[in-house]
Amino acid sequence: MKLYSENEIVDAVVIGTGAGGAPLLSRLAKAGLKVVALEAGEHWEPSKDFATDEVSQAKLFWTDERLSAGEDPLHFGNNNSGIGVGGSTLHYTAYVPRPQPDDFHLYSDFGVGVNWPIGYNDLEKYFDEIEQFLGVSGPADYLWGAKHKSSYPLPPLPLNGAAQLMKRGCDKLNIKTSPAANAALSAPYFQKDIGWRAACTNRGFCQAGCTIGAKANMDVTYIPLAVYHGSEVRSKSFVTEFELNNSDNISAVVYSFNGKMQRQKCKNVFLCAGAIETPRLLLINNIANSSGEVGKNFMAHTGMQVWGQFEEDIRPYKGIPGGLISEDTHRPKDADFAGGYLLQSIGVMPVTYASQVARARGLWGEALLQCMRGYNHTAGINILGDCLPYPNNYLELSDEMDSRGLPKPRIYFSIEENERRLNIHAEKILREIWSAAGADDIWSYNRNAHTIGTCRMGNDQQKAVVNSEGKSFDIPNLFIADNSVFPSALSANPALTIMALSLRIADCFLDKMKHR
């Protein structure tokens, strides 16, 4: 790996190496720019460092404490934010459906929420490029949304028990289903400039880290590509401060490495730390916030799960967790709410499931033990749906300091009428599917997933933090590329869109540089 001196003024510092930071890092490096990525966590070697064990793999989660407020306080930690080279992709389930074109103009269609300043067409070529590069496994013809210009490069992964059962239930109710698009390899795959990656071996522990590189985390895809093209990746580097020059540009990024403060001089900064740490860092430094919108418009997908037990042996620890999808509920005809949702089957790891049973069902004693003795017969369906932005859902800095002496973030989150109606609609369908498939002991877990919003992109600098190319309205050499810039939640899992935005922001930047 190429190394840069801290005194050298590099072309760009990229903060964060997840789905937001890694793709653009590779793009800038490929264009010949001197780029350094700063990542708060470790650079793991999964084949040696990872175990099939949920508790020890909690090292992949961002565990600095967040204060969870509001009527529907979010459970951060697992499932929401990651740490380590690769960011949250280290523990994502690799579920990569594309958003649909109408996801980008919710306001035009429903008069609520907001439109994006860009549309599906602006991101389409990136979806194609990313799917080919990652080696996405999926159906030859996808049933919903815009027709893809190129098919998924690999056939779908095999369906596990939960996926087969969801198909059975949906077939009886005439709900169309399809094997899902997953960024995990159904066959060995060659990536130019990186080499071969091995096929998925059906370990269902995607959320505890992939040990063989079959899952397309950033640490086995865009990060090695970036390094191949001359980027440096500095792990264990936690950014705390920005130094600004007289013309309000960032001139250096300050970070702690092994407890020591370091600074890297730079010409540009790409902030890709996710929808909590990105606004937190801006608020701590009190920059890029003339709009007052930093930290506002926080969203989390509606993510209701319905669980059931079946006569059949399922063994929910096997196979890609999200094997099957339906988008028939993308814009339901009988909806009394704006937007919509998708359905996915879910396998689940035992400790994760037990913890949900404890928190959501409150079972203990013999009732808990009995419920868990049915673990091998358990399968779930999950929705992934819209969530509108509201003024009372936001992030602020609390008065409580963390171990680094920085204020802990406090996040307010409450769902409102639109989300409640969507959840009621979804729960009814999910329960019907599970009943039709033969489940008993059906129960629902009303949860919200993913962190979205807080540094909205838009055309009006009074109402947005960055423009449609990810550039700060206040600081000319600061760019934001992660889920914080999403103006609306989209009824699709966010990873693919974050990567597409990342590449687009890099291309817009490079294009401007060329014409300067």
Of residues 404-443, which lie at the interface with other proteins (CB under 8 A)? 410, 440-441
Residue 201 touches other proteins, criterion: CB under 8 A: yes
Per-residue x/- marks for other proteins, 14-33, CB under 8 A? --------------------
Cα–Cα distance for residue pair 214/135, rounded to 1 Å = 9
Cα–Cα distance for residue pair 349/103, rounded to 1 Å = 31
Closest CA to 448 of 61, 80, 62, 18: 80
Query: Least distance (Å) from other proteins to the CB of residue 73?
Result: 6
Residue 202 touches other proteins, criterion: CB under 8 A: yes
Q: Segment near other proteins (CB under 8 A), from 61-69, 225-233, 259-267, 500-508?
A: 61-69
Query: Least distance (Å) from other proteins to the CB of residue 376?
Result: 5
Query: Least distance (Å) from other proteins to the CB of residue 313?
Result: 5
Residue 158 touches other proteins, criterion: CB under 8 A: yes
C-beta closer to other proteins: residue 11 or 396: 396
Query: Least distance (Å) from other proteins to the CB of residue 80?
Result: 8
Q: Segment near other proteins (CB under 8 A), from 12-20, 257-265, 313-321, 471-479?
A: 313-321
Residue 375 touches other proteins, criterion: CB under 8 A: yes
C-beta closer to other proteins: residue 370 or 459: 370
Pick one of 146, 254, 351, 406: the residue that binds other proteins (CB under 8 A).
351
Residue 401 touches other proteins, criterion: CB under 8 A: no
Phi/psi at 13 (5° precision):
-105, 130
Residue 88 touches other proteins, criterion: CB under 8 A: no
Phi/psi at 60 (5° precision):
-85, -10
Query: Least distance (Å) from other proteins to the CB of residue 78?
Result: 7
- State which H helix or E strand residue 380 sits in: strand 378-385
Return the C-alpha torsion angle 19, 216, 302, 68, nearest 10: -60
Pick one of 364, 401, 476, 513: the residue that binds other proteins (CB under 8 A).
364
Residue 180 touches other proteins, criterion: CB under 8 A: no
Which 468-497 positions form the footprint of other proteins (CB under 8 A)?
Answer: none
Cβ count near 171 (within 10 Å): 14
Exposure of 432 by Cβ count < 10 A (0-12 exposed, 13-18 middle, 19+ buried)?
middle
List beta partners, residue 137: 154, 182
Which 381-400 positions form the footprint of other proteins (CB under 8 A)?
Answer: 400
C-beta closer to other proteins: residue 71 or 141: 71
Cα–Cα distance for residue pair 7/274, rounded to 1 Å = 27
Q: Can you read off the two tokens belonging to residue 212?
A: 């063989």
Residue 333 touches other proteins, criterion: CB under 8 A: no
Pick one of 60, 136, 306, 371: the residue that binds other proteins (CB under 8 A).
371
Cα–Cα distance for residue pair 384/360, rounded to 1 Å = 18
Residue 75 touches other proteins, criterion: CB under 8 A: yes
Cα–Cα distance for residue pair 11/500, rounded to 1 Å = 22
Q: Can you read off the two tokens belonging to residue 476?
A: 């000319």
Query: Least distance (Å) from other proteins to the CB of residue 174?
Result: 22
Residue 374 touches other proteins, criterion: CB under 8 A: yes
Pick one of 319, 339, 380, 470: the residue that binds other proteins (CB under 8 A).
319
Residue 184 touches other proteins, criterion: CB under 8 A: no
Cα–Cα distance for residue pair 310/375, rounded to 1 Å = 10
Is 485 in contact with 20 (CB distance < 8 Å)? no
Closest CA to 228 of 470, 379, 412, 30: 30
C-beta closer to other proteins: residue 12 or 170: 170
Q: Segment near other proteins (CB under 8 A), from 121-129, 265-273, 284-292, 306-314?
A: 306-314
Query: Least distance (Å) from other proteins to the CB of residue 91?
Result: 12
Residue 280 touches other proteins, criterion: CB under 8 A: no
- Please measure the distance between the N-terminal and C-terminal CA atoms of the chain and give it in whole angstroms: 30
3-class state of residue 488 by DSSP: coil
Query: Least distance (Å) from other proteins to the CB of residue 371?
Result: 7
Strands (E), 81-179: 178-179
C-beta closer to other proteins: residue 259 or 362: 362
* One-letter amino acid of 3: L
Contacts (Cβ under 8 Å, ≥6 apart) of 64: 402, 403, 404, 408
Strand 35-38 to strand 232-234: parallel, antiparallel, or no bridges (unpaired)? parallel
C-beta closer to other proteins: residue 225 or 276: 276
Cα–Cα distance for residue pair 50/277, rounded to 1 Å = 25
Query: Least distance (Å) from other proteins to the CB of residue 453?
Result: 18
Residue 145 touches other proteins, criterion: CB under 8 A: no
Q: Segment near other proteins (CB under 8 A), from 62-70, 250-258, 337-345, 382-390?
A: 62-70
